[in-house]
């Protein structure tokens, strides 16, 4: 569903956080960076005493275009934070509010999904207070599960905050401009469209000609005859042009034609499965895909099928076994192995879909297809706006020449 009309939106950003366990420097840097981009931001500075969230805070969530949820060590101990989370996800479901998660400090996406570590202790404490069968308690658990399936930007204490703050602000801008581009009152004539294109991600002249909408990267023996075949059929039904490699993969080197197909795709869907990392072809594909994302702005959608994002991010479980074998072949300090590890970590930190959260396959497939259609529409709108800018520049140039 579409977000509520822009006339009813008072704030660009609602910032939900547990103030006493997130660094003041991080929160202040994030708020300053958002304000610098002229984002009207609201933060709950009230003392979070008592169990009930105020009506004014609920209204602020409703009047915000984007909500940023900062999960931290003691986030779930605060019942007001959990009530905010429920309201935010409710507003996302009803009006399409954009929601972005930040996993701060020692908290990972998997900790939120499984309610482990301090989140588990917090819920146990709430269970004793409210009772195991409490509707409120179950709403909180469901909200944490649902949130774990959304976008994550991982923030670690050991990494400079400014790097991640910039990433978060850039992501918010991309998402909010995508939403605002559909609001008629935000686009009045060519001049307003030109003003917006100045802030859009640049489309390089060296961007390759796109032949495909989607490139599917997957480990064939894990998913080819079940999930991939269903996803491919669903995408094709929506007239989405897909490149899918049906060849038997022999040898260690990826074929030039496959590299070209990646470059000629607008979106890459990477399906991580149990034995994905055991295939050097898959790992080389992933490196190339992220290279195209960096150079040309290709959109990358990871899908975690039968495996946790944390296993991909940290190369644990079957991914650890796969790299142990690669080390025997290429050497522990091989640059190739380091590239593969870096690529896996980067990919696991992108917005994606998780079969452990959405375990009904046809529901997962439908959500991915809907996501792809939305992103293709977004890419199309950028191309159109950049095209308008180019034509106006040409007209202005011509007028200046005539005046001279």
Is residue 285 among the annotated active site residues?
A: yes
3-state secondary structure of 265: strand
Same-domain check for residues 149 and 222: no
- Of 355, 352, 363, 368, which Cα lies nearest the Cα of 240? 368
**Average per-residue pLDDT in the chain?**
78
Which H helix or E strand runs over 254?
Answer: none
Residue 133: pLDDT band with limits 50, 70, 90? confident
Same-domain check for residues 358 and 227: yes
Question: What does the pLDDT look like over 135-158, one tens digit per residue?
Answer: 889 899 888 888 877 654 445 444
Query: Has residue 313 been placed in a domain?
Result: yes
Query: Has residue 187 been placed in a domain?
Result: no
53, 87 Cβ separation under 8 angstroms: yes
Higher pLDDT, 209 or 141: 141
Same-domain check for residues 151 and 252: no
What's the total number of domains in the chain? Answer: 2
Spatial CB neighbours of 118, under 8 Å, sequence gap ≥ 6: 73, 74, 76, 77, 107
Domain range spanning residue 274? 212-376
Same-domain check for residues 266 and 165: no
Catalytic-labelled residue, pool 62, 263, 285, 384? 285
Report how far apart, in Å, the C-alpha atoms of 312 and of each of 85, 130, 164, 322, 328 are.
Answer: 27, 36, 20, 11, 20
What is the Cα–Cα distance from 237 to 396, expressed in whole angstroms?
Answer: 43
Least confidently predicted of 208-217, 242-251, 293-302, 347-356 = 242-251
Same-domain check for residues 170 and 22: yes
What is the Cα–Cα distance from 402 to 104, expressed in whole angstroms?
Answer: 58
Same-domain check for residues 47 and 171: yes
Question: What does the pLDDT look like over 144-200, one tens digit per residue?
Answer: 888 877 654 445 444 555 556 777 887 777 766 655 544 433 333 333 333 333 333
- pLDDT given for residue 297 in this prediction: 85
Question: What does the pLDDT look like over 275-286, one tens digit per residue?
Answer: 999 999 999 999
> What's the CATH code of the domain at 44?
3.40.50.10140
């Amino acid at each position: 569903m579409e977000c509520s009309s822009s006339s009813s939106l008072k704030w660009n950003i609602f910032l939900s956080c547990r103030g006493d366990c997130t660094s003041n420097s991080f929160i202040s840097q994030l708020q300053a960076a958002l304000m610098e981009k002229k984002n009207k931001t609201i933060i709950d500075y009230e003392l979070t005493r008592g169990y009930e969230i105020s009506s004014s805070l609920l209204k602020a969530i409703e009047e915000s275009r984007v909500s940023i949820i900062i999960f931290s060590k003691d986030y779930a101990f605060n019942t007001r934070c959990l009530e905010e989370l429920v309201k935010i996800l409710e507003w996302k479901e009803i009006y399409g509010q954009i929601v972005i998660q930040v996993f701060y400090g020692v908290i990972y996406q998997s900790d939120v999904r499984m309610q482990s570590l301090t989140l588990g202790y917090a819920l146990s404490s709430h269970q004793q207070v409210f009772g195991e069968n409490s509707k409120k308690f179950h709403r909180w658990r469901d909200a944490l599960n649902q949130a774990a399936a959304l976008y994550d930007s991982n923030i670690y204490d050991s990494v400079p905050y400014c790097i991640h703050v910039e990433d978060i602000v850039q992501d918010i801008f991309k998402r909010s401009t995508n939403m605002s581009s559909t609001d008629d009152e935000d686009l009045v004539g060519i001049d307003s469209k030109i003003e917006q294109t100045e802030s859009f991600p640049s489309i390089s002249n060296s961007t390759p000609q796109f032949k495909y909408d989607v490139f599917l990267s997957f480990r064939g023996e894990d998913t080819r005859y079940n999930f991939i075949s269903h996803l491919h059929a669903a995408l094709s039904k929506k007239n989405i042009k897909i490149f899918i490699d049906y060849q038997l993969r022999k040898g260690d080197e990826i074929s030039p034609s496959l590299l070209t197909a990646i470059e000629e795709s607008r979106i890459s869907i990477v399906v991580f499965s149990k034995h994905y990392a055991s295939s050097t072809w898959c790992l080389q594909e992933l490196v190339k895909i992220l290279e195209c994302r960096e150079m040309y702005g290709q959109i990358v959608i990871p899908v975690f099928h039968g495996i946790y994002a944390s296993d991909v991010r940290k190369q644990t479980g079957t991914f650890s076994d796969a790299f142990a074998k690669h080390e025997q072949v290429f050497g522990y300090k091989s640059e190739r192995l380091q590239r593969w590890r870096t690529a896996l970590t980067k990919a696991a930190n992108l917005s994606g879909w998780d079969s452990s959260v959405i375990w009904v396959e046809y529901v997962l497939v439908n959500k991915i297809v809907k996501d792809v259609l939305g992103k293709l529409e977004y890419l199309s709108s950028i191309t159109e706006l950049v095209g308008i800018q180019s034509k106006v520049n040409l007209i202005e140039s011509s007028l200046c020449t005539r005046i001279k």
